[in-house]
């Protein structure tokens, strides 16, 4: 695809949260933007190619240029990834799932784009963070996303109690995630650590057929059949005081 602008732009392109239903998560406007791109910066090339093929089976993937940006990419390398912009090509930034730069390494590329006066264009799409918050019934006025919790159990317990304390002090919702194969271990630890009055939401499989979103007090969760979260993409929210 030939360049169309004297100077290109950096498009932040949301991807699927899993599954095959592109129509549920990808606005038609985004498809039009994607069809005009030939340069992509992606977290993983195979999954990016798979997404583009789902988006449009006729998309000319073999004519596209892919560069990798992940947690190992240095800041200077991020700046080099923007070079096609100055050759007239716009670039699409793709995350592994959901929104670029949210629990995702793309922020360095966006920062470099701003430093070089490149226009950054965020496109709308699926966000597990905001979908879960919307559906939780917890505070959408004051909330904090923590990303991944510490790996060591003692540090993780301290972090959970810290979030509870912060939530009680600010009447805020505290959001966090875990890798899917560790979800069940985190869930069990939350029920062991949190106070009975704390309200706890789990949002798993968002936008998928097996989507499961529920909010209960920790006391009620302890008396409920626990959801099977093993290997499911999930997001957790706790709130110490309910408004």
Say yes or no: 170 and 194 in one domain.
yes
pLDDT digits (tens, 9 = 90+) for 99-122: 999 888 889 899 999 999 999 999
Angle between helices 153-170 and 183-193 (to 10 degrees): 60
Is the predicted pLDDT of residue 8 greater than 60, yes or no? yes
Q: What angle do CA 101, 71, 228 make, to 5 degrees?
A: 75
- The average pLDDT across 83-99 equals 94
Number of domain units in the chain: 2
Say yes or no: 118 and 160 in one domain.
no
Residue 39 · residue 89 · CB < 8 Å = yes
Percent of the chain scoring above 90 in pLDDT: 78
Q: How many CA atoms lie within 13 A of 194 on its CB side?
A: 32
pLDDT digits (tens, 9 = 90+) for 163-222: 999 999 999 999 999 999 999 999 999 999 999 999 999 999 999 999 999 999 999 999
- Answer whether residue 3 is part of any domain: no
- Answer whether residue 29 is part of any domain: yes
Domain end among 122, 154, 182: 122
Range 141-144, long-range pairs (CB < 8 A, 24+ positions): 142/170, 142/171, 142/172, 142/173, 143/172, 143/173, 143/174, 143/175, 143/237, 144/172, 144/173, 144/174, 144/175
Whole-model pTM? 0.88
Say yes or no: 95 and 133 in one domain.
no
Give pLDDT, residue 72.
74
Give pLDDT, residue 6.
61
Is the predicted pLDDT of residue 5 greater than 70, yes or no? no
* Tokens at 117, concatenated: 């006066």
Q: What is the domain extent for residue 54? A: 10-122
Residue 148 · residue 236 · CB < 8 Å = no
Q: What is the dihedral of CA 31, 33, 37, 43, to 10 degrees?
A: -70
Say yes or no: 137 and 117 in one domain.
no
- Answer whether residue 98 is part of any domain: yes
Say yes or no: 21 and 82 in one domain.
yes
Percent of the chain scoring above 70 in pLDDT: 95
pLDDT digits (tens, 9 = 90+) for 126-148: 999 999 999 999 999 999 999 99
Can you give the CATH number for the domain in which 194 is found?
A: 3.30.950.10
- Answer whether residue 151 is part of any domain: yes
Give pLDDT, residue 79.
77
Is the predicted pLDDT of residue 51 greater than 80, yes or no? yes
Residue 84 · residue 65 · CB < 8 Å = yes
Give pLDDT, residue 150.
96
Task: Name the residue among 126, 137, 100, 94 with its Cα closest to residue 27.
Answer: 126
């Amino acid at each position: 695809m030939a360049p169309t602008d004297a100077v290109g732009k950096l498009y932040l392109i949301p991807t699927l949260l899993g599954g095959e239903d592109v129509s549920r998560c990808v606005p038609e406007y985004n498809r039009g933007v994607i069809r005009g791109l030939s340069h992509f910066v992606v977290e993983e090339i195979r999954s990016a190619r798979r997404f583009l093929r789902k988006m449009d089976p006729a998309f000319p993937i073999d004519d596209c240029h892919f560069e990798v940006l992940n947690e190992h990419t240095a800041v200077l390398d991020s700046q080099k990834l923007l070079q096609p912009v100055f050759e007239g090509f716009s670039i699409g930034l793709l995350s592994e799932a959901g929104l670029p730069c949210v629990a995702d390494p793309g922020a360095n590329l966006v920062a470099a784009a701003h430093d070089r006066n490149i226009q950054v264009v965020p496109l709308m799409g699926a966000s597990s963070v905001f979908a879960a918050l919307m559906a939780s019934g917890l505070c959408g006025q004051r909330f904090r996303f923590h990303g991944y919790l510490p790996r060591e159990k003692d540090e993780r317990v301290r972090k959970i109690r810290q979030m509870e304390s912060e939530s009680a002090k600010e009447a805020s919702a505290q959001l966090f995630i875990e890798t899917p194969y560790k979800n069940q271990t985190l869930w069990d630890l939350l029920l062991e650590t949190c106070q009975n009055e704390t309200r706890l939401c789990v949002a798993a499989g968002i936008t998928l057929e097996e989507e499961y979103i529920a909010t209960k007090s920790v006391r009620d969760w302890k008396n409920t059949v626990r959801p099977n979260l093993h290997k499911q993409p999930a997001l957790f929210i706790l709130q110490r005081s309910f408004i």
